Structure 1
Amino acid sequence: MYVEVENPSNIETTKRLERQDSLFGDAEKVSNITGHGSKENWTQVLHLAFLSIGIIYGDVGTSPLYVYSSTFPNGIKNKDDLLGVLSLILYTLILIPMIKYVFIVLYADDNGDGGTFALYSLISRYAKIRLIPNQQVEDSMVSNYSIESPSLPLRRAQWLKDKFESSKAAKIGLFTITILGTSMVMGDGTLTPAISVLSAVSGIREKVPSLTETQVVWISVPILFMLFSVQRFGTDKVGYSFAPIISVWFVLIAGIGMYNIMVYEIGILRAFNPMHILYYFRRNGKEAWVSLGGAILCVTGTEGMYADLGHFNIRAIQISFTAVLFPSVALCYIGQAAYLRTFPENVTDTFYRSIPAPLFWPTFIIAIFSAIIASQAMLSGAFSILSKALSLGCFPKGSVLSLSSQSPHI
């Protein structure tokens, strides 16, 4: 009988090569796959939910800084338009981030990873549509598997699978859409730092109106430099640092929103009636369609939830979104609309004008940090997508160095 003995040096080398970001390890502990009799560790779930606040929601959480000014670039002509735009914002938040992403798209993960390439990889497991020649033998066996009497849903899936496998144009089109979607997310990750930080820093002109736009830009430059400098510390350390700050931000904007609703107009809650969207488009016609480009900014950064899925798990993201992000951001938008019903001339700087005077400077400081976090959210998402692109051979080969400490179980 022969016994194979492993070389200790090889074991040590393997451990070094398998080093990962500790958030990936925590996510593995609470994997979404639960077998018979298995139970989720809710301590770990809530821990990941807290960290996700600092990593994922910075971008969508700071959108109230600029949504109304982008939607009404030429001013508010009719106060009732605020009801239509607010209703449009609320139902956009409900339909796209909450229903589409949080409760549907997140379940389309590729072994725990999210993002456009992960979805493409998942589809490629069950159909021979991949243009990249790296399909494994196991995947080929799965894609060729069929049963004689499938159910109606399986027959539909089989029909769609055959259409994709037999059409070269469909394969090219699907791959092109994947590349296009990835490029848009990467572009968002490039532009978000500048837009978010500039929007936050520009609030100082409310107290120091003598500052020029050029001076505001130069104030933003060192902040952006600091943002990219902290990336080397790893995702988990950044999450621990940013989660408390963005949590305070959400508490502040929710409180300010409730204050504005009570002080200015509680009747703004009528915007929950979606008919106001129809009235808005009927009154404004083409201008209403053009304003959609500003209103859709309320969900900018939403794709970060899916791209960063590999850092967390589905249940953690669902809890943090429904319990923290959505109520806070919705109250902020409602409060701003209530304020604008009284002061429509302040639409160009709604957020800072609607803040009660004693809270201006604390909110301004937190807004600066939150804008930095908004940039971090998209940077983390871009990194996750880039890592998946590397693994699929769709990006020039390079080494990925994990700088966060390992979890004890890895």
Structure 2
Amino acid sequence: MHTSYMDPQLGSANQFKETWKHTLLLSFQSLGVIYGQLSTAPLYVFGTMNAEDIKSKETVYELFSCIFWTINIISLLKYAFIVLRADDNGEGGTFALYSLLCRHAKVGLLPNDTSANEVMHYETGSPFKIKVESRARRAIEKYKSSHYLMLFLALFGSCMTIGVGVLTPALSVYSVSSGVQRSMSDMAHLFSSSPRKQEAISNAFEKYVPVPTASAILVCLFTLQHYGTHKIGFIFAPIIVIWLIFIGGGGVYNIFHWNKQIIHAVSPMYMYRFVKNIEIKSWRSLGSIILCVAGSEAMFADLGHFTKKSIKITFVCLIYPVLVLCYAGQAAYISKNLHVTDFNHLSESIPHRIRHWFIALSLLASVVGSQATITASFSIINQCLALGCFPRVKVIHTSDKIHGQVYIPDINWLLMVLSLAVTIGFHDIMRIGSATGLAVISGMLVTTCLMSLVIALYWEKNLFESVCCLIFFGSIEVMYVSACMLNFHKGAWYLVVLLALSLTVMLSWHYGTKKKLEFDLQNKVSAEWLTDISPGLGVTRVPGIGFIYTDIVTGIPAFFSHFITNLPAFHQVLIFVSFKSLPMPYVPASRRYLIGRVGPKDLKIYRCVVRYGYCDPIRDTDNFEEQIISSIGEFITMEENEFESMNSSEGRMVVVGKPPADGSALIPLNETNSDEESVGLVSNIETQPAPMVGDASESGLGPVMRKKVRFMLPANSPKMRASVRDELQELIDARESGTAYFLGQVHLAVRHGSDVLKSLLIMTYAFCDKNCREPPVALNIPHAALVEVGTVCCI
């Protein structure tokens, strides 16, 4: 994760001097994370083709030519040399491209992008500054429909990534299980001389081995996910190296042993003949050919874990030549063995004396390939979650240094169930391959569309270059999409069902979240209302601190004004806290907190806006209350010393970085208590770190150690005025007196007479909101100190 906006304390691949030694280390590690799926694609590219459609040696040449040029155009040219350059401060993927467009072309429709832009983006030198207007940018910004189209493309691409995460494990594991079945059948034939018994054994193995074997492997694969990508990927890298050596060596052997003339098939003339003599049956073969580039999207999607140089070197120097040799060798074998049963399966092209070793190695390699797609699903859902486009789920960061590596338990088990359903329901490699091919090429087509917009709006190239990129790559990918759609009835329909379900959930959550924010903005009251109504209601100030969590960054939220009207009392110190996701991967610690006042100083009401990127693990941090109070202490000191001329009008805020460990305004004092000890005051907030996998706290093996933080003023300093010390002391006293948390809950309901589409979106959102496994504010708030105020919004 190499980005200038990243917290220096978070691990970054770009923080180190990029020596060749470091680049080679990252290249090695990328094998187990990025290239697992791409390197295992030979297991099922030819295997998913209908053997009856491969009629002659010329057909084999044409198919290999299509595979060769597809890899060159899509994997090498598009991803390795063009798309990798469009990183979002070191991050890649569909949402990285969309976030670039949101920041540089004012096309953001995400719920957190459109609220209080002046408050969020006002400071000098902000990384969110919009570039100079251009004709293309003005045209895009003018039409609101184009904004919705871009958001739809981003969500559609995310759904395709999830679809690949469901289908690829099933396809990889089932193809290997079929190889296991053939290997076991061959071994059984050695112990039986009767042709009838041999046929019965083959039928039995074909019926009972692949599906149970694949299902067992899938269960084990998804069970391993909680160990984290870092550990699994580092272990898997040597497996991929051995696998690449094996298939590369096998390809060279097959070329020289069976047909050296296959090298001539790299000529584009063979691909031209294939297209010229196309028919329905041969056109369907393109749905299998596109699988040869399955996993190319991972080069860009997993960019945050490595550097561009390491990813490009690994692909150009190792992955690309090995894949070309492997496919050439398999094509050479097929061209001379069209009479052999299952000639189009990779295992058949391996010499018999080492075939059993190949089956074992392919089993391990298929697990690695599946791992990459599952990890990508976790990453994209984490980004959707941060940007308000996915229901709240528990996200566990499996690495302290690389926060892009996440594990989502609920999604993991859901993916496992869906993969098992595909394996058991289809039990046919060609049907699973049809759905996988459609998912892969659809995701690539989305990347092409967004990439053409990035060329025009972010790189500020002329419109001709953008259109050329769209037409060149888009026409090729549309051709493959049309071929995959011919197999719609043969398995691709399953992907459409997955797309409909996941896209409905994402759009519903986005729509509901946006409507809730609009309701809060329409019903908020001004800060003056709080000062004007207090004397009339006889509002009482009670000791302690009140944290009010709200989505708005100006004004008083409606639920709190409703609470004050019915119960005229609030705490000695009030802090309005808002979490705001910005369309960028990371927000540095120095720009994370915006602190300001609400009303005059004597009210002791503050506002804190916590800004974070879509890759920041901000909601998993356990010491937010401590950081917010420290930041307010820094703000009080800064305001008095440097911002005396600044008025306290609503919306004027100061950027406060992450407070230093020793604290310049408030000094934190850490005390550690066992969970078995009694807690005297609610104000002594106990913060518990977000549980990592394998923690003793989850297993119940011992008492949980909690960190209790108190504050004290620094020693007398002539630089600190008496008024500042008094205000800081009041903040400390309020902290010691107790803390309460106010959380507003807006419940959406369908208005009578609403249309069917709106009713479906609201009902889906309400169902997801009711069944979310995570609370709206995942900050370990004690239940005894939480006050929830509910309001109903009819739409």
Distance 1:397 1:245 in 2: 35
Q: Which residue of 2 aligns with 1:194?
A: 170
Structure 2 residue aligned with 1:313:
307
Q: CA deviation at 1:321?
A: 0.8
Q: Distance in 1 between matches of 2:332 and 2:103?
A: 50
Per the alignment, residue 356 of structure 2 pairs with 361
Correspondence for 1:372: 367
Amino acid at match of 2:388: G
- Aligned pairs (5 A) from 1:4-403: 25-29=11-15, 40-135=18-113, 136-137=120-121, 142-143=129-130, 145-146=131-132, 158-209=134-185, 210=201, 211-346=205-340, 349-403=344-398
Query: CA separation of 1:272/1:212 partners in 2, compared to 1, >3 Å: closer, same or farther?
Result: closer
**Deviations 1:207-251 (Å, cap 9, x if unpaired)?**
323313342211122221221122212221111100000110000
Q: Which amino acid aligns with 1:369?
A: L
Point out the structure with max Rg over C-alpha: 2
Pair 88,261 (structure 1): closer, same or farther in 2 beyond 3 Å: same
Distance change >3 Å, CA 363–CA 134, structure 1 → 2? same
Paired residues of 1:87 and 1:277 also in contact (CA < 8 A)? yes
1:296-322 deviation per Cα after TM superposition (whole angstroms, max 9, x unaligned): 111112212211111112111101111
Distance in 1 (alpha carbons) for counterparts of 2:253 and 2:356: 17
Percent of aligned positions with the same letter in both sequences? 38
The one-letter code sitting in structure 2 at the alignment partner of 1:383 is F
Name the stretch that deviates more: 200-209 or 345-354.
345-354
Q: Is the 8 A contact 2:56 2:338 kept in 1?
A: no
8 A contact 1:118–1:388 mirrored in 2: no
Q: Distance in 2 between matches of 1:141 and 1:67?
A: 44
- Residue identity opposite 1:137 in structure 2: H
Q: Distance in 2 between the 1:366 and 1:176 partners?
A: 40
Question: CA 1:68–1:76 in structure 2 vs 1: closer, same or farther (change >3 Å)?
Answer: same
Amino acid at match of 1:185: T
Deviation at 1:105, TM superposition (A): 0.8
1:25 partner amino acid: G
Q: How many angstroms does 1:349 deviate by?
A: 4.2
Per-residue deviation, 1:67? 1.0
Gaps of 5+ in 2: 1-6, 114-119, 186-200, 403-795
Aligned to 2:388, the other structure's residue is in SS state coil
Q: Deviations over 1:261-283 (max 9, x none)?
A: 00011110011110101112223
Question: Where is the helix percentage greater, Structure 1 or Structure 2?
Answer: 1
**TM-score, normalised relative to structure 1:** 0.85
RMSD: 2.1
Q: How many residues align?
A: 368
Is the 2:27–2:311 contact (alpha carbons within 8 Å) kept by the matching residues of 1? yes
Q: Which has the higher contact order (CA 8 A, sep 6+)?
A: 1
Provide the secondary structure at the position in 2 that maps to 1:111: coil
Alpha-carbon distance between aligned partners in 2 of 1:341 and 1:208, rounded to the nearest angstrom = 26
Structure 1 portions without partners, runs of 5+ = 1-17, 31-38, 148-157
**CA–CA separation in structure 2 for the residues paired with 1:383 and 1:178:** 16
Q: 1:171 and 1:308 mapped to 2: Cα distance?
A: 26
For 1:195, the aligned partner's letter is: L
**Structure having the larger proportion of residues in strand:** 2
TM-score by length of 2: 0.45
Distance 1:111 1:225 in 2: 36
Output the amino acid matched with 2:381.
L
CA contact (8 A) 2:334 2:343 kept: no
Question: Hey, what's the Cα distance between the residues in 2 that align with 1:19 and 1:394?
Answer: 28
User: Mean alpha-carbon deviation: is it higher for 398-407 or for 361-370?
Assistant: 398-407
What is the CA-CA distance between 1:73 and the residue it aligns to?
A: 4.2
